Structure 1
């Protein structure tokens, strides 16, 4: 089975290398330098990755990365593998498909779409299938505030019930778009929400 997490990590590294430190992203308040810092810390110092307050390692390094040379160094540090004997090296094995794959796809789109709409990437069919497989747990967490049932649907393909309620909507789109929709990026996701008007309105309001 292909290691799609590694494919996406390399694609994300390439995109970060091509971006300027101040390139916009879909993550509110973040430029490319913040995203690169988050990714580096998540991969190499995960105990610091989610401490983003002023004075934190994240805040200090992201500020320093406004300098293009520091930014480039942060990106290369993200690209580098963890030390072989580190427990973090486990995420470069099969565990990475569980812990990293969808994260890398979404953050790649955060960078691609930060300045506005862009043409969608065309993923290999196997990768799209693997991404759809990875959406179950993420969707349940991301849609916990939604009071209607939700079915994720790939046009002409697979479907998955991720939230059961008497009134339901179908969220229809390619797996990348579905990943954006269920991860708090509804405004950037090219999906169609189908159902009774009240259910659709409730879904959209919850994700606004």
Structure 2
């Protein structure tokens, strides 16, 4: 069985360590310290984790996360790097792989691509090569998460294209089509609202692209 979640956990921990606690991330309003606290809450506090998605429970989640954020940053990153506790569902390899491969990939890029400002990550080398196995895993997960994330927000029909892999369409049927092309990792980032920092090609009628840009972040038009 693949271990992409474990590999991405270590990469994310490395990036958090290198960035430092006050570094920005692509998670709106969160520093690296806040992101580390979120990661610990998610796998160690089953009572607070539902509030990540359920607004009615968000107050308790925010309180618990603030408690984690108040801990020494280096300790938080060390605990996250060591992996989930034995009682966590994520301690099961199959659950970890299913639930965390995309989660840790996206958050690792949240840290890496936030450094140096809007275009700084490009100047520092842009997207890194994603191992073939991980790229394939991200592509397999893309249809579902694209429907649940970008597809629900898009006013246009989205055609997500990865050369050599295929085409995925989500969004309102019958609407104008905008084609977004990129590697699987870049398309995953777009689906999760990180498109402004993703290496993508966007093609479609001017009005349709403008409508999409108003709903979901896209790369700068001059890229």
User: Aligned pair in 2 of structure 1 residues 44, 55: CA closer, same or farther (>3 Å)?
Assistant: closer
Q: In structure 2, do the counterparts of structure 1 residues 33 and 90 end up closer, same or farther at CA, with 3 Å as the change threshold?
A: closer
State whether structure 2 residue 153 is matched by structure 1 residue 145: yes
Gaps of 5+ in 2: 53-57, 218-223
Number of the residue aligned with 1:205: 214
Change over 3 Å in CA distance of 1:194–1:47 after alignment to 2: farther
**Which whole-Å CA distance do the structure 1 matches of 2:42 and 2:179 have between them?**
33
Q: Which stretch of structure 1 is more off in the superposition, 132-141 or 157-166?
A: 157-166
Q: Give the one of 163, 179, 203 matched to 2:188.
A: 179
Count residues in correspondence: 201
After TM superposition, give the deviation of residue 81 of structure 1 in Å. Answer: 3.0
- SS of alignment partner, residue 120 of structure 1: coil
User: TM-score w.r.t. structure 1 length?
Assistant: 0.87
**In the TM superposition, what is the alpha-carbon distance from 1:55 to its structure 2 partner?**
7.0
**RMSD of aligned Cα (Å):** 2.1
Q: TM-score, normalised by structure 2?
A: 0.82
Distance 1:164 1:108 in 2: 31
How far is the alpha carbon of 1:92 from its aligned partner? 3.8
Residues 42-53 of structure 1: matches in 2 within 5 Å? 42-49=42-49, 50=52, 51=58
Match of 2:220 in 1: none
SS state of the match for residue 47, structure 1? coil
Does 2:101 match 1:93? no
Name the structure 2 match of 1:83.
85
